A and B are shown apart, each in its own frame.
Chain A
Amino acid sequence: DAKTTQPPSMDCAEGRAANLPCNHSTISGNEYVYWYRQIHSQGPQYIIHGLKNNETNEMASLIITEDRKSSTLILPHATLRDTAVYYCIVRVYNYGQNFVFGPGTRLSVLP
């Protein structure tokens, strides 16, 4: 699985969009980009994933650059409850295989 690089921490004002970057310059053609988050002391929560097209669901949007070497998770209207550690993971779609969680980005949403 390709290595990812994320900033260790970010702040965002409540109500504004939170844009979380992730670099994955060694990504292979068959590797997906996944995002999970972990709110304090809870188990990680799936957010979104994509291969090369931009994706949107009820929680967030995922923007993947054309060369696929980086991506951005967008929380359109951040709330205090979005304060969490966000993990960007790149891996081959492989039913039954594990995710490798790195240190992630600690997002603090400020009132």
Chain B
Amino acid sequence: NAGVTQTPKFQVLKTGQSMTLQCAQDMNHNSMYWYRQDPGMGLRLIYYSASEGTTDKGEVPNGYNVSRLNKREFSLRLESAAPSQTSVYFCASGVADTQYFGPGTRLTVL
């Protein structure tokens, strides 16, 4: 039981490049989330998916798109990366009142 897994662990992009961050969970949770955490800051929600087939914007959705591919997988796409998107990205899945977080993806945009 791996919990929440994220790939890649590290990524460096140039401004304007695109990429997709992958997230998968094996806990059969309906809800999944993408957060970002900037240095010295708390987490901020980018997008979430309350159930398979639905997605909703969070606090900071601009510059991102998401896909809830199935119940297990929730991907985050940066279409044209900008230096302001340099951050650590956490995926989470949830059941009832508890969210379980992945190990994070450290993204640097040059």
Contacts and interface: CB of A to CB of B under 8 A. Distances in A.
Interface stretch (A20-28, A40-48, A72-80): A40-48
Interface residues of A, number: 21
Given A43-B4, A44-B90, A101 B44 contact: yes
B48 A99 contact: no
Contacts of B58: 98
A43 B104 contact: yes
Q: Is the interface of A mostly helix, strand, loop or mixed?
A: loop
Given A32-B97, A46-B98, A99-B99, A41 B104 contact: yes
B45 A98 contact: yes
Nearest to A91: B97
Given A44-B101, A46-B99, A100 B50 contact: no
Q: Give the interface centre of A34, A43, A95, A103 by most chain B CB atoms within 10 Å.
A: A43
Contacts of B4: 43
Interface in A83-111: 87, 93, 95-104
Interface string B42-76: 11110010110000001100000000000000000
B101 A43 contact: yes
A49 interface: yes
Contacts of B50: 95-97
Interface in B1-44: 4, 30-31, 33, 35, 40-44
30 contacts: A32-B97, A43-B103, A43-B104, A44-B99, A44-B101, A46-B98, A46-B99, A46-B100, A49-B97, A49-B98, A87-B42, A93-B97, A95-B31, A95-B50, A95-B94, A96-B30, A96-B31, A96-B48, A96-B50, A96-B94, A98-B35, A98-B45, A98-B48, A99-B43, A100-B42, A100-B44, A101-B44, A103-B41, A103-B42, A104-B42
